[in-house]
Structure 1
């Protein structure tokens, strides 16, 4: 009843944060939630330091888009990928993997890439619905590509090496990139007029872009190309955290935009306004879904699902099947980090008793829960991509199902081919 009411409000077009708030207020007594805490709980959630990366990377996205940096990057990508059909979709997937390596957050990845590459995709002839669907699905790479916040949480609470978890997630992340790019290659024939992108007037012809033509494009794009080098180099060298990297990226993008005179004072004001409004909308969603997560825990929904999944079999294969089903359901109703913190310590001991490597199980668990970001009602990636790309959920669902199917295929391979995650133990 609660879920159906929430879905009805969303279908009727009620703003996402408002829909969750209405459901929470209507059921506060049934869930034994103190009405006076309804103001404090959302504030405590969005006061988390790690969430500061979201508005900062949204600002980076606005600066890169309106400051011309995205155009420079896509021009470089056109030079090397223009012989591939429908290149912007492939760039969306690869850029999401790169942004995932910067943020460790799926939602932040969707927000940043949707505000940059998503704009370029729509200009190339892609519909808003398809662009948003690819943006939402590619955001899963924000968790699969290390560093990954949910994997850090799992390793800390279960007592598994976080370094091993990061290494183990590399192959699944690359596999997901390949699957999404293959799906895009198929779908692009349907969503693009004539199956071809509308090329930007400034894009050089791939046939005439020899070394002499490539050098000026590369030089113009050098400041933009240095941004991921700066951020990734700082994170992996241990100089700063992902959130600090977001702040540094924002300062760098702002400095490049001002020094290159790509934006006027009026443009900078609009950039800040757009980033602030988008950040407020996304953080409001996260704030109110946190109360919904708390209600699910109070109702012991995850614990009930876990008991059903682990009580009827002695077979590791059947156990993994049951756990996958349980985690898919949990991912539909709980935020990724909260679900990881709750389900990890509940299921990992049972997995170890079945002889399943805890690192393999951790990657499987996080991948599974992460798929919930594409499945309502708590499909955060869908909602953020919808907002960022100005699309409607009904325009997205038909395309999202393709990428959801690809994600489930990858999940099946991760689950039943342990070597994809434990390969590093053979070195």
Structure 2
């Protein structure tokens, strides 16, 4: 085996295992391979530049900024009131409200941990006051936060679409129906879990969500108060799905709309808070663009060496059909998701896996949703599970308690992953209908 093959097979895993940052690991392997191939070093610089010189990538920092601004504006509180009125008196109503609010806020922020922090920051203390266990409160918020990567607009979807060379709009549309079904499944799990495990908290929870005002009047007031937050997904996603504007244009409209709501309507965004939103956006977007750039170099190197084609030939021996291939890929992604950060998993694995699934006749849009669902589950699987640690920090409880309480929600997500894998129409029906 040549030195180049050894570098491509073992270089990246070894560097990641010893703690080298993902961008540095990708860059070192890419540069090393270029050197061993005898390719001019200019090829590396051009690859990195071409990786970030991609128009759809502009949507990511804009969507991140819009979400950060709305997090600081008070919109989340008004959204919560709507769902508290409609769902709060159910058994486990506060948990159901948390899931549904996370599902809706995901269509604003596009971030998993951001959704946990924004919604969980309000609902976890409310659930604790109502007598729910810290484990349940944290598990509900962490589970609901996973919807941030599946329900559009989703930043991981944009990155995958660029790597797989598919339409961002079609991928957004493909995630809408699975995202809705996942939200319903998680909300039903919150209901059942509270009904059978959190009985002592149910009575107090009903008292906290109830009032003497008729429900119709409560709902009318809540809807009117939350009208600006409710309009955001309608304007952004409606414009994308109708073809009125592209995802990049939609992201700019989202920023302008969020600024209008935060500054003019709510008047709750200070100069300091706006500066924090910009700073957080720069940190997240800058780190992501760096990773995307060096990952392009890595992808070109493995393509030149025909690594995907060689893997496809190897996999054909053990995976005679597309169904077995997807089963093996799901097992691989579930394992790696426990150790790889969300964007890192997508950026590293997509250039390798997309050519393979195409060779088996699998639609890359369908595979993209499968990949995003695996990433969604990875938010809840230790040792990396980011949502677990965010929820544990908000609930001020050991992460071990949340891990135990998360198991029913994790089981539902795995069942839904199986359904999404076995039923391509779940992902492809809406894109085909709207096209």
TM superposition score normalised by structure 2: 0.69
Residue of structure 2 in register with 1:369 after alignment: 375
Cα 1:309–1:329 change in 2 (3 A) is farther
**For the Cα contact (< 8 Å) 1:324–1:368, is it kept in 2?**
yes
Residue of structure 2 in register with 1:114 after alignment: 120
Residue of structure 2 in register with 1:164 after alignment: 170
How far 1:396 moved relative to its partner? 0.5
Alpha-carbon separation, structure 1, partners of 2:116 and 2:65: 12
Instruction: List gaps (5 residues or longer) in structure 2.
Output: 1-15, 30-51, 53-57, 302-306
How far 1:130 moved relative to its partner? 1.9
- The equivalences for 1:297-316 within 5 A come to 312-316=318-322
Alpha-carbon separation, structure 2, partners of 1:362 and 1:132: 28
Decide which moves more: 135-144 or 235-244: 235-244
How far 1:359 moved relative to its partner? 1.7
SS of the aligned residue for 2:338 comes to helix
Alpha-carbon separation, structure 1, partners of 2:321 and 2:255: 45
Question: Does structure 1 residue 139 correspond to structure 2 residue 164?
Answer: no
Cα 1:315–1:398 change in 2 (3 A) is same
Alpha-carbon separation, structure 2, partners of 1:245 and 1:139: 20
* C-alpha RMSD of the superposition: 4.8
- The equivalences for 1:51-62 within 5 A come to 57=67, 60-61=70-71
How far 1:413 moved relative to its partner? 0.7
2:214 to 195, 209, 213: 209
SS of the aligned residue for 1:116 comes to helix
Decide which moves more: 245-254 or 97-106: 245-254
How far 1:257 moved relative to its partner? 4.7
How far 1:111 moved relative to its partner? 2.3
How far 1:357 moved relative to its partner? 2.0
How far 1:161 moved relative to its partner? 2.6
Deviations 1:174-198 (A, max 9, x none): 2211221221112112453525152
Residue of structure 2 in register with 1:40 after alignment: none
Residue of structure 1 in register with 2:185 after alignment: 179
Cα 1:387–1:57 change in 2 (3 A) is farther
Deviations 1:69-123 (A, max 9, x none): 6555444334322452222211211111112211222222222222233343333
1:392 to 369, 384, 398: 398
**For the Cα contact (< 8 Å) 2:82–2:222, is it kept in 1?**
no
Cα 1:116–1:224 change in 2 (3 A) is farther
Alpha-carbon separation, structure 2, partners of 1:141 and 1:335: 16
How far 1:128 moved relative to its partner? 2.8
1:228 to 227, 230, 239: 230
1:337 to 343, 346, 355: 343
1:252 to 261, 267, 271: 261
How far 1:218 moved relative to its partner? 3.0
Instruction: List gaps (5 residues or longer) in structure 1.
Output: 1-19, 34-43
How far 1:132 moved relative to its partner? 1.9
How far 1:398 moved relative to its partner? 0.6
Aligned residues: 382
Specify which structure has the higher proportion of helix: 2
Decide which moves more: 69-78 or 313-322: 69-78
Residue of structure 1 in register with 2:8 after alignment: none
Residue of structure 2 in register with 1:102 after alignment: 108
SS of the aligned residue for 2:214 comes to coil
Alpha-carbon separation, structure 2, partners of 1:229 and 1:364: 29
- The equivalences for 1:146-161 within 5 A come to 146-161=152-167
Alpha-carbon separation, structure 2, partners of 1:357 and 1:93: 30
Alpha-carbon separation, structure 2, partners of 1:185 and 1:396: 17
How far 1:59 moved relative to its partner? 6.0
SS of the aligned residue for 2:132 comes to coil
Cα 1:381–1:53 change in 2 (3 A) is farther
Alpha-carbon separation, structure 1, partners of 2:396 and 2:62: 23
Deviations 1:318-371 (A, max 9, x none): 211111111112222222223222222211222122122222112112212332
- The equivalences for 1:14-53 within 5 A come to 24=20, 50=60
Residue of structure 2 in register with 1:414 after alignment: 420
1:127 to 100, 117, 133: 133
**For the Cα contact (< 8 Å) 2:130–2:201, is it kept in 1?**
no
Residue of structure 2 in register with 1:16 after alignment: none
Cα 1:102–1:73 change in 2 (3 A) is closer
